[in-house]
Amino acid sequence: MKTKLSFFFLLFSMFSFAQVPHCGFDFTSYLVVKAHEEGKSDNIPDLKIFIVNEKGEEIINENNKYSWKYGNQPLEFTRNYLISKPNEPEKWFFPYAGDTYLLSVTNTFPAEEFYIKIKDAKGRYKEQLVQLQAFNMYILCSSENERQARSFGPRTNNPIEVVLEKK
């Protein structure tokens, strides 16, 4: 009986320690766009940025296929926003991205199949289409970042840098 009980506790401890802890972002990545003018670093406000196909048509997130948010709607980027109070150091909702535009997507999002379309709501800049790549995604969980760090090629967690031209 002691042997069976010891064996049970041994198996239990092996299974409980073998489980990998999960990250709150295990199934989510972000696309981050930094849009600015040539020679300037400030992000341009009032832009409309969407995920589109090669024809420039907006992609609809049918049944949350590409993002856990915006079900059955076009995939539109939103601007990261400050959460700090006045007279405090600058804190952003998504701290790794600073003053940028964000879109939450699933980890299985096929970035290479899509583009981003950037339109200026005020009509100051030319519309732009930029093809996405897998390395454009912000991978937030450390285990995935460690795996990616051991591979060759462009690194993740860098914003999509877009230089807009005035009309």
Q: Is residue 145 part of a domain?
A: yes
Q: Is residue 72 part of a domain?
A: yes
Q: Is residue 155 part of a domain?
A: yes
Q: Is residue 30 part of a domain?
A: yes
- Each residue of 23-34: pLDDT tens digit? 545 567 889 999
Q: Single out the residue of 32, 33, 44, 31 nearest to residue 165, CA to CA.
A: 44
Q: What is the CATH number of the domain that holds 43?
A: 2.60.40
Residue numbers of the domain that contains 51: 23-164
Structurally, the chain folds into a number of domains equal to: 1
- Each residue of 83-101: pLDDT tens digit? 988 898 889 888 878 899 9
Q: Is residue 63 part of a domain?
A: yes
Confidence band of 13 (pLDDT split at 50, 70, 90):
low
Q: Is residue 140 part of a domain?
A: yes
User: What average pLDDT does the segment 48-53 reach?
Assistant: 97
28 compared with 148, residue with greater pLDDT: 28
Q: Single out the residue of 121, 115, 123 nearest to residue 162, CA to CA.
A: 115
Q: Is residue 9 part of a domain?
A: no
